[in-house]
Structure 1
Amino acid sequence: MIINSNPVKGMRDLSPKEVELRNYVISQILKVYKKYGFNQIETPCTENIELLSSGDGGENEKMLFKILKRGQKLKISNDQSENDLVDLGLRYDLTVPLCRFFANKRSKLPKEFKVIQTGSVWRAERPQKGRYRQFTQCDIDVIGLNSILAEIELILATSEALLEIGFSNFKVRINDRRILEALAKQSGFESADFTKVFIILDKIDKIGLDGVKQELEKSNFPNDCINSFMAIVTEATKSGITVDSLKTMLPNISQEVLDDLSRVIETVKLQADDKYKIVLDLSLVRGMGYYTGQIFEIEADGFGSSIAGGGRYDRMIGKFLKGNEDIPACGFSIGFERVISILEDQNFKVPSTKNKTAILYNRNDNYNLLCSSAQQLRTQGNCVSLELKTKNLKKQLDNLKEHGFNSFAFFENQIELVVKELN
């Protein structure tokens, strides 16, 4: 029987060229984040099932890869449910594991913890173009800082990282979950229905204003609630919105919420120095249910979906602590796979300051001389690969050039190493 050599459905093999691009992007992002004082951690790819099904992951929990108990713990009988057979799962994001990490190591961590995480996550969703069951996330979070300086630094660091890898003239969209709650409450919706209303509003980029209204009607919400809600959303999306006009539309919003929003927008706008924009967007929702304050996304011109997103989640970590105390927390995640896809579509080339040389050799060459020559070039800062010379030299040189080599070398009279540029 021939074993299927394709990767598991929804997952990918990555070629050297693809990995080179991913490593480069990660390195540039980390370089920027570390400049801002963030430190990198790692968490396991598996977590206890209770953590991953606690309700904090929202819709992602429906796409959880569950892991069966092992060995003697796995006792299969007809009267058992799935929950009796499962004790672990693959993480579906990096935020939930971070909260567990902080609660577990709180006494050993700084009071204000600035942290980087990069790594694979898994979601059992339907595979399609640009969506995979295993993909990389790239997060920064600030824990323990009850100040909008956390939001400001997260936005500035993420924006600078995107500039560093070649994005420009993008737009930071910002909103606040407390503003959305004030909007839903003023429109007359019951608090128990807020989440469903927000999920529908979050689709506005795909289905438009009419589509949002139709979905609210299909959900059998009262017409007066829908009409009031749509009137405000329509005004805000068609004519644009400012913090001052928001106060007129929703007079019940806390002045502190509005002041904080103004300060973040003003500070980021000044720091951006016209390299990118920041705008208030009342239709911005963010899908995760754990957000408690400001939320933000970054979108780039010409691309349909956001390339980064995040927000404040002050009530999440406390669930792991005695007394259920609120711990200030805020995070921003670059859509790593989306960014990589855009760069690949643009035929982005990883810049290299090093010379990449292939030494072509024959089977009867002096291998000691071959290795010594290669090592000498490496000590001079070159990347050197030993390549067996093929019959079709032109094709071989074309392939080397395709794989990033800019020079090749060979032995003349099996003694002298001659180096030539690849044109």
Structure 2
Amino acid sequence: MATQVHPPRGMRDFLPVDKRRRERVLRVIREAYEHHGFEEIETPVVEDAARLHAGLGGDNEKLAFAIMRRGLTGDDLQAARSPLELADLGLRFDLTVPLARFLSTHRSSLPPVFRAIQIAPVWRAERPQRGRFRQFVQCDIDIAGEPGIAAELELLAATGDALERLGLTGTHIRINDRRVLLAALEHAGVPDAQREGALITVDKLDKVGREGVVAELAERGVDGAALLATLDAIGAGEAPEGFDAATLEPLRELMAAHVGVPLVLDPTLVRGMGYYTGAIFEVAHPDLPFSIGGGGRYDGMVGRFLGQEVPAVGISLGFERLVDLVELPEEDGREVVALLVDKQVPPVEALAIKRALIAQGRTVRMQRRPKNPQGLLDQLVAAGATHVAFVRPGDSAEDLEPKPIS
């Protein structure tokens, strides 16, 4: 009995019909981004291990797949204090760190304000579960070189356009600002040493509720009720007494814009990446308990590589989470011929007929004709075949007129 062989846990194979569907969805996203003036780039799937573990990727750095150095000896293995000492490369865990490296590498060849598309797989050593895989596709757009709110507005408009073209109704984008969060922590009297931990706790609000957040903050010595009261007031569009109202202006300006998708102010939105310096976003859909995208401004990251500050902001759509929500109409006018060839037909003659049909603009999938072709035809139809033609000995391309499959 044959043993079943599966891909590695958290990674998947895609049958042709699934691959075509995924590519159609990706094509819609690409076209939306390109119409907004973004240009696609490509970066290697591996980066230097030191760059991937430079403190830019937050908790995702812990999930990076490391690639061991070549030529390691037994002494090297015994002397290593951690596995990372044995690695010089690693698989990328997101597309933002590679983009920051790309911008620093090619800055002189790029326009002052560069709008980038990256659509590619990334890898994380996740515990596989619904919506989480170890290999998955991200769809990123980023703007580098624009320090003002115009960049955020362009990103949100392009994202809204992509979601609309995909027919994803009911989506909205939650918005906050890291500067507002830090000002709220200061207003609530949270000590500097507790601020990062306090944000991690606030980020659990949807999981543990207000009481749980207040209790956990109390364990950190933080007045959780005061902090949540400050955030509540900001969510209502008010500046609490003693709070610098000017800090809220970028958020108010964003919320006043029309970007093609509803924007929802959420002062409790944190996002885990420590590199965010300004506005942060999350794309939500009512049918899913988790976000289908997110991003924000990360002005300090490119400067870590380049040696000079370059303002940057980006947003990513989590392709694996949104693709199952999308129901695109079937493409019209694509004629796919199932060419079923009798066994007596010489391969050279069958190929000549296939090439002639392709020259007419058709897509041809050639198979040997079985005694009962219905099962094979059903498979071919499921794979997208629209027409069928049977090839018998002596037939030529001129003799065949593929018929629609009813």
Q: Same fold (TM over 0.5)?
A: yes
Residue 310 of structure 1 is aligned with which of 278, 287, 295? Answer: 295
Contact 1:66 1:88 in 2 (8 A): yes
Contact 2:215 2:224 in 1 (8 A): no
Deviation at 1:250, TM superposition (A): 6.2
2:244 corresponds to which residue? 253
1:293 corresponds to which residue? 278
Give the % identical residues: 38
Bigger mean CA deviation after superposition, 412-421 or 200-209: 412-421
Find the aligned partners of 2:365 and 2:378 in 1 and give their Cα distance: 15
> Gaps (5+ residues) in structure 1?
none
Find the aligned partners of 1:160 and 1:300 in 2 and give their Cα distance: 15
Residue 315 of structure 2 is aligned with which of 332, 338, 343? Answer: 332
Q: Secondary structure at the match of 2:44?
A: coil
Residue 281 of structure 1 is aligned with which of 259, 263, 266? Answer: 266
Letter in 2 for 1:27: R
Could you state the TM-score of these two structures normalised by the residue count of structure 1? 0.88
Deviation at 1:154, TM superposition (A): 0.4
1:81 corresponds to which residue? 81
Deviation at 1:254, TM superposition (A): 5.1
Find the aligned partners of 2:296 and 2:74 in 1 and give their Cα distance: 40
Find the aligned partners of 2:244 and 2:14 in 1 and give their Cα distance: 49
Letter in 1 for 2:291: S
Letter in 1 for 2:331: P
Letter in 1 for 2:404: E
1:241 corresponds to which residue? 236
Deviation at 1:141, TM superposition (A): 0.4
> Gaps (5+ residues) in structure 2?
none
1:264 corresponds to which residue? 254
Q: Secondary structure at the match of 1:339?
A: helix
Task: Find out whether 1:189 has 2:190 as its counterpart.
Answer: yes
Contact 1:112 1:142 in 2 (8 A): yes
Find the aligned partners of 2:329 and 2:131 in 1 and give their Cα distance: 20
Q: Secondary structure at the match of 1:71?
A: coil
Contact 1:293 1:312 in 2 (8 A): yes
1:230 corresponds to which residue? 228
Deviation at 1:44, TM superposition (A): 1.2
Contact 1:412 1:418 in 2 (8 A): no
2:36 corresponds to which residue? 36
Deviations 1:85-131, CA, capped at 9 Å, x for gaps: 22221111110111111112212221111111121111112112321
Bigger mean CA deviation after superposition, 402-411 or 78-87: 78-87
2:129 corresponds to which residue? 128
Contact 2:342 2:392 in 1 (8 A): no
Residue 361 of structure 1 is aligned with which of 310, 327, 341? Answer: 341
Task: Find out whether 1:390 has 2:370 as its counterpart.
Answer: yes
Find the aligned partners of 2:332 and 2:297 in 1 and give their Cα distance: 38
Bigger mean CA deviation after superposition, 204-213 or 176-185: 204-213
Task: Find out whether 1:419 has 2:402 as its counterpart.
Answer: yes
Q: Structure 1 residues 291 and 413, CA, compared in 2 at 3 Å: closer, same or farther?
A: same
Deviation at 1:160, TM superposition (A): 0.7
Deviations 1:383-402, CA, capped at 9 Å, x for gaps: 11112112222222222221
1:25 corresponds to which residue? 25
Contact 1:67 1:88 in 2 (8 A): yes
Aligned residues: 401
Letter in 2 for 1:253: D
Q: Structure 1 residues 143 and 366, CA, compared in 2 at 3 Å: closer, same or farther?
A: same
Contact 1:116 1:139 in 2 (8 A): yes
Letter in 2 for 1:133: R
2:174 corresponds to which residue? 173
Find the aligned partners of 1:18 and 1:349 in 2 and give their Cα distance: 15
Find the aligned partners of 1:333 and 1:77 in 2 and give their Cα distance: 38
1:59 corresponds to which residue? 59
Find the aligned partners of 2:300 and 2:15 in 1 and give their Cα distance: 41
2:355 corresponds to which residue? 375
Deviation at 1:381, TM superposition (A): 2.7
Deviation at 1:208, TM superposition (A): 2.4
CA RMSD of aligned residues (A): 2.3
Q: Secondary structure at the match of 1:78?
A: helix
Q: Secondary structure at the match of 1:338?
A: helix
Q: Secondary structure at the match of 2:197?
A: helix
Could you state the TM-score of these two structures normalised by the residue count of structure 2? 0.91
Bigger mean CA deviation after superposition, 54-63 or 397-406: 397-406
Deviation at 1:213, TM superposition (A): 2.1
2:157 corresponds to which residue? 156
Letter in 1 for 2:34: K
Deviation at 1:45, TM superposition (A): 1.2
Find the aligned partners of 1:35 and 1:197 in 2 and give their Cα distance: 41
Deviations 1:245-276, CA, capped at 9 Å, x for gaps: 2x2x2653352x43332222222x2x42xxx3
